Structure 1
Amino acid sequence: MYATTETLATTPATQGGRSRWLALYVLCAGMLMIVLDVTVVNVALPAMQDDLGFTSSSLAWVVNAYMIAFGGLLLLAGRLGDLIGRRTIFLSGLALFTAASVLCGLAGSQEVLVVARFIQGVGGALTSAVILGMIVTLFPEPREQAKAIGVYAFVASAGGSIGLLAGGVLTQAINWHWIFFVNVPIGALTAFLAVKLIEKDKGLGLGRGTDVPGAILITGALMVGVFTIVKPAAELGWTSGRTIALSLLTLTLLACFIVREATASNPLVPLRIFRSRTLTGANLIQALSASGMFGIFFLGSLYLERVLGYSALEIGLAFLPTTVLMGVLSVRYSEKLITRFGPRRPLIVGLVLITAGLALFTQAPVGGNYFIHVLPVLTLLGLGAGVCFPALMGLAMADVKPEDAGLASGLTGTTAQVGAALGLAVLATLSATRTESLAAAGKSTAAALTGGFHLSFGIAAVIVAAAVVIACTVMRPARKTAPEVAEDDELALDAA
């Protein structure tokens, strides 16, 4: 069964039908603002570099500062939502993110912009970590829940390509400062509507999970881990002494965290949550699929820019078909597919389509034509993501108890963020290494770049193919016992 009413029932579900859907749109508006901020900044990086005098290495910290705070705090933010109240954490995150956006827009120096981006990451983690948990409590009925998660999945996954278009328009039409200023009216309106439309929930209380040592250990592990991925691993390589040392530190902190949670009377993250094969498998798939998809959006943009000569606005328009397909499938058809076939089959089909699209991208040549070599790839990616991500997010929350909904929501976001950071670092590093070797062998710049991109596209396809294997094995439904089969037969006879 997709989700049980008993599992998800909680006070916010008492809201009326229309107000619940309005509340969903408010939550999705908050999520869209967070997701847009990632890719909208990528498009504006060259303009920031020219204006504030960033070097190539220091410019990366405009992105890294945000990712370290965001990825490091998601899990803690999700658990705080369970303990303090999810609406309280959501509104706190919105306020912090909006205030940091103002600071980013006003930044006149490199240091101010990087610090403001870190604060933005903290606000983004607080805002996004609790959204999925709030949605599944607002919509306990399986059919409505599938539809609501489809809307959320579209925003969470397609918002990145919308950000490419918005970033190109704002940067070229005005200047890079407005990619941050535009968050202010959106954040203020979202917060106002959230207070009006979302009922205040009562958390479990800090006494039920004030695990300060656990919070310090997991936050430290995630921040050090994300930092390792986006800085030394990407710049110095995975075998460098600094990368290995920080990786060992990350593993040590994680091991200490697991020991702490296994022995604490009120753990921050109860380890029992991982007993669910569905939850564990869904998060593994989330990490792998995010690694492939996020890396390809980034490297695919570079292919369009450096090989085919596209401008920022043209890149945004090029990815628009992916956004449209994801939106149509996620919002209009995902609920029907999940209700008809269950969440597992759409998940597998979607992952297979994504794998096929990534594999096809390895055939894009130096003088590629958009309609022949790029559009078919983006079509497969849009179809696959629109089919699989709503099912995946529903599966991640299907067996979760109400008191753990915020934690599970934060865990899903954490695996996606860490998976995306890891995928981007690995794929970008391999692509750059391959490009350098081809250039040294006498290939032209365009041919060397294309060869590097081809390698990354192929590896991304292998990564998502591994997610397909997990979906076919780990996510396999448990075999029913004889009494359960007899009960199903009796229900079928009664229905007939």
Structure 2
Amino acid sequence: MTAASPSAAVHTDWKPTDKWLLGIVLAVINFWLFAQTLLNVIPGIQGGLGIERTVGNLAVSITSLFSGIFIVVAGGLADRIGRVKIMNAGIVLSIIGSLMIALTPANAGVLTSGLLLGGRIVQGLSAACIMPSTMALVKSYYQGKDLQRALSFWSIGSWGGSGFCSLFGGLMASSFLGWRAIFWISIVLSIVALLLVRGTPESRAAVQPGAPARRFDWGGLVCFVIMLVAINIYISQGPNIGWLSWVGITLVAVFVVFALAFLQIEMSRSTAFVDLKLFKNGTFTGATLSNFLLNGAAGTLIVSLGLVQVAAGMSSLQSGLLTLGYLIAILATIRVGEKLLQRFGPKKPMLWGSIITGVGILMCSMTFLLIGQYIVLTVIGFTLFGIGLGFYATPSTDAALSNVPDAQVGAASGIYKMASSLGSAIGVAISAALYVAAQAVDPKLIESWGLFIGRQDNVALRFGGAVGLLFNVFMVVVAIASIIVAVPSKRPGHEEQARPGEVAPAAFGN
């Protein structure tokens, strides 16, 4: 995503209002709050819809997958054809996607799966359009302290929405309104957002006179989409299709072939869809890889919350309440991470945040305990999860974006944000797949270990949960290693202070 230069927006007589900013926040929150509710709601509704658990898991991950795939594309289109056009298209897509999910019939076979998955894909495309376009509009029409304030509200829409989604989804699903009300409310707020931003002057990125038109890398995009969809389907549907079945092997082969083709295309073009040359910068690579992995730890939510619903009979609301500390902690510590960055540079707070996050997830992995003990540990664990991400967020964004040339900041921020969405999609898919697959282990074998205390009729379920959750701990460990290896302890001297008029990277949000 590329921020507009002052010459990109010429409507000096138009001033944004607080109502307009509210419309922007509502557009952003429609993804982070409403679309992400399935992380908690899906275990309770898949039976009523008559879909298999693997289809439900795919429905959870596929939205972030498509958001991650197309966010760079949508950001580029917004810069060229207009940010208002792309923002409005994103809000309309949010309405369509939510409508498809709200109208998904129960026990209708292919129609049920098709509408649910189709709606989730459309929601992912919506998020890809909304996030870069709204950020660019805010940066086009605000300056100085007003810009910092506006970007803070934008971040509240993303971070606050992601922190509140499990609790909100559980509340709606457990109420008399039912889970479909989540998406009807999303439609209403999307319409309100359209009304509030109506009349916004168009904004585009400034184009240098005489600059040649950039040809879009359609070949790279097609290969990227095919390889990621293939591996996501293989991961999420593996327990059903068979990991070593001919279908599974074909999906892996498709992934490998198109991944190699993608690398070949991107390395041979000057206008690549993903600028792989950025990864020659070790700091950018370390920050982006750790960002991908820590966002992948979102799999903790679907496994832990799904486990307490199935194994302990908790409602989606009760399980959502376990994440209340996560919401409070992440909002309370984002600014703390900013202060730590200013004092210590990016590496230490990134490491501290990752370690705290890993400890929190490890506490959620202790499924061998009695349910009362496990609930206490998950409340503490999710709170630590939020604190860790709060410490990590701003320093990581700073490390990624302040260490690349100015001409590449737009591409770098797009790749960094793409890593967030793809990490979430792939992390959720793998965690959920391991959760399901590990339940096939013989319960008698698990009982023979003498590790799981309390009820023994659900040891396979609890073992599956432990495996899925420990995978998230592993991802955090790899993230810590990438930070240690690639991120320098101190930033170069000229980067210690923000340039005049520059906004702290904290504003980039999720």
Q: TM-score range by the shorter chain?
A: 0.7 to 0.9
Separation in 2, partners of 1:345, 1:391: 9
Counterpart residue number, 1:225: 231
List per-residue Cα deviations over 1:259-314 (Å, max 9, x = no partner): 2233335333344333333332222011111222x111111102322333321111
The corresponding residue for 1:272 is 277
What amino acid maps onto 1:79 in structure 2? G
Whole-Å separation in 2 of the counterparts to 1:203 and 1:229: 42
Query: Counterparts in 2 of 1:133-172, with a 5 A limit?
Result: 155-157=157-159, 159-172=161-174
1:101 corresponds to 2:98? yes
Q: 2:186 aligns with which of 177, 183, 188?
A: 183
- Deviations 1:294-335 (Å, cap 9, x if unpaired)? 1111111023223333211111122111101111112x4343
Aligned residue for 1:310, secondary structure, equals coil
Residue 223 of structure 1 aligns with an amino acid whose one-letter code is: V
User: Which residue number in structure 2 is paired with residue 174 of structure 1?
Assistant: 177
Check the 8 A contact 1:220/1:253 in 2, yes or no.
yes
- Amino acid corresponding to residue 168 of structure 1 in structure 2: G
The whole-number CA distance in structure 2 between the counterparts of 1:250 and 1:10 is 39
Q: How many residues align?
A: 474
Mapped contact 1:279–1:399 kept (Cα < 8 A): yes
Using the alignment, how far apart are the partners of 1:249 and 1:464 within structure 2?
28
Q: Give the distance between the partners of 1:74 and 1:405, measured in 2 at CA.
A: 15
Q: Give the residue type in structure 1 aligned to 2:266.
A: E
CA gap of 1:99–1:460, structure 2 versus 1, over 3 A, is closer
1:174 Cα deviation from its structure 2 partner: 0.6
Match of 1:249 in 2: 254
- Greater displacement, 281-290 / 46-55: 46-55
Structure 1 unaligned residues grouped into runs of 5+: 1-6, 489-496
Evaluate the alpha carbon distance shift between residue 462 and residue 220 of structure 1 in structure 2; reply closer, same or farther with a 3 A threshold: closer
Residue range with higher mean Cα deviation, 77-86 or 279-288: 77-86
CA distance in 2, matches of 1:456, 1:202: 44
Residue 464 of structure 1 corresponds to 476
Unpaired stretches in structure 2, ≥5 consecutive residues = 106-110, 448-455, 498-510
Alignment equivalent of 2:349, drawn from 346, 349, 354:
346
Residue number among 325, 328, 331 corresponding to 1:324 in the alignment: 328
CA distance in 1 between partners of 2:424 and 2:136 (Å): 21
8 Å CA contact 1:306, 1:446 repeated in 2: no
Calculate the TM-score normalised by the size of structure 1: 0.81
For the Cα contact (< 8 Å) 1:105–1:180, is it kept in 2? Answer: yes
Of the three residues 417, 426, 434, the one matched with 2:430 is 426
Check if 1:212 corresponds to 2:214.
Answer: no
Within 5 Å, give how 1:27-426 maps onto structure 2. 27-45=24-42, 48-49=45-46, 52-60=49-57, 62-63=59-60, 66-108=63-105, 109-110=111-112, 111-130=114-133, 155-157=157-159, 159-172=161-174, 173-195=176-198, 200-202=203-205, 207-232=213-238, 235-236=240-241, 238-292=243-297, 294-330=298-334, 332-364=335-367, 365-369=369-373, 372-399=376-403, 407-426=411-430
The structure 2 residue matched to 1:439, chosen from 430, 436, 443, is 443
Alpha-carbon RMSD across the aligned residues, in angstroms, is: 3.8
Q: What is the letter of the counterpart of residue 256 of structure 2? A: L
Letter matched to residue 100 of structure 1: G
The 3 A distance-change label for structure 1 pair 399 and 22 is farther
Helix, strand or coil at the partner of 1:269:
coil
- Tell me by how many angstroms 1:353 deviates: 0.5
Structure-2-length-normalised TM-score = 0.79
1:206–1:104 CA distance, 2 compared to 1 (3 A): farther
d(CA) in 1 for partners of 2:75, 2:461: 40
Choose between structure 1 and 2: higher helix proportion: 1
Q: Encode CA deviations 1:326-372: one digit per residue, 9 max, x unaligned.
A: 11112x43433333333332222111101111223333513333664
Change (3 A) 1:92 1:298: same
Please, which of 1, 4, 10 is the counterpart of residue 5 of structure 2? 10
Percent of aligned pairs sharing the same letter: 22
Q: Distance in 1 between matches of 2:148 and 2:400?
A: 12
String of CA shifts for 1:9-33, please: whole Å, max 9, x gaps: 72379999x9599877654433321
Hey, what does 2:506 align to over in structure 1?
none
Alignment-mate amino acid for residue 277 of structure 2: R
